[in-house]
Structure 1
Amino acid sequence: MLIGSKVYYDANSGNVIVITPEFAGPVVETTKEQDFKLYKSLEEKVFEEVNFIQLEHGAYKFDRFKGGEIVRIDLETKEPLFLYPVEEGTEPNSPSNSLESQINDLRQRLDESDTRNEKLVEENTLNQIALMELHAMLLSTLQD
């Protein structure tokens, strides 16, 4: 069985409290109540003021590979917000959507652009045909 990480966060701010590890093999998924007993950082919180999101096993591997760390949860979308290491000489950045999410958004925008471009190519071809027909009509009306 594959069990993804759980990201526990403050329900009011979205700030991450604890991220449980992923598991694979003969394991049983824990409940919120069990996790509150297992993790000291959760035990210190008010149960009702803590929410969590369950990630798929292996989710956000690319972000983790790039050094991304989930620091907050967007309270509207329930998507994790990542903070990435800052290179020397650059300004620190604020938490942002995952790279996977950004890639998926770009893929969707590219697909939409491709669709629009195909329609524009069709319109352009029709316009060129119409112009050629108009040109032929104009030429036929001119005297020699």
Structure 2
Amino acid sequence: MNEQEPKNKIGMKVYYDLQSGNVIVITPESAGIVAETTWEQDFKLYQALADKVPDSVGMIQLEHGAYMLDRAEGGMVARVDLATLEPLFEYPPKGGEEPQPPEVSFTSQISELAAENQSLREENNANQLALMELHMMLLNLMPDAG
């Protein structure tokens, strides 16, 4: 599909500084009959980008609706992890909390925990099978009490 062709859903684009990972501009996501803008168009549209040397800027395109949980919690993309190219979020402090540095999204944390949980379940099942086999072996070694 050509970038200029209308699409139904376009995710936000995160433009960031290639040296620091700090966010420069986040383009809004949109839905309906919309045309995705090009890199060049965005550099003309957004003053914060127009002021930058294009070779010093990186961009990640997120899926439409990505990180909805994080955004619902007030999270905002503050930086991009330069090693993984994952967005790092800042969340508003709750109560008397100190503001926290940007961190991996709740969405990513949930995915990691779900994978870890699945791995632990598989390990637990393997351990249960091994215990049952050991139990059967011990029963076969015991003399009949009859």
TM-score (norm 2): 0.91
1:38 matched residue in structure 2: 45
2:124 is the alignment partner of 1:117: yes
1:91 matched residue in structure 2: 98
1:135 matched residue in structure 2: 142
Mapped to 2, the partners of 1:45 and 1:116 lie a distance apart of: 51
Higher strand share: 2
2:89 is the alignment partner of 1:60: no
What secondary structure is seen at the aligned counterpart in 2 of 1:77? coil
Mapped to 2, the partners of 1:136 and 1:122 lie a distance apart of: 24
2:126 is the alignment partner of 1:108: no
1:70 counterpart (53, 72, 77): 77
2:3 matched residue in structure 1: none
Higher helix share: 1
Structure 2 portions without partners, runs of 5+: 1-7
Mapped to 2, the partners of 1:74 and 1:41 lie a distance apart of: 20
Mapped to 2, the partners of 1:103 and 1:128 lie a distance apart of: 37
Deviation at 1:125, TM superposition (A): 0.1
2:9 is the alignment partner of 1:14: no
Aligned AA (2:64): H
2:4 matched residue in structure 1: none
State the identity as a percent: 49
Query: Any idea what the Cα deviations from partners look like across 1:31-76, whole Å, max 9, x if unmatched?
Result: 1110000000111111100010001011111100000010000011
Deviation at 1:135, TM superposition (A): 2.3
Aligned residues: 139
Shift >6 Å, 4+ stretches: none
Structure 1 portions without partners, runs of 5+: none
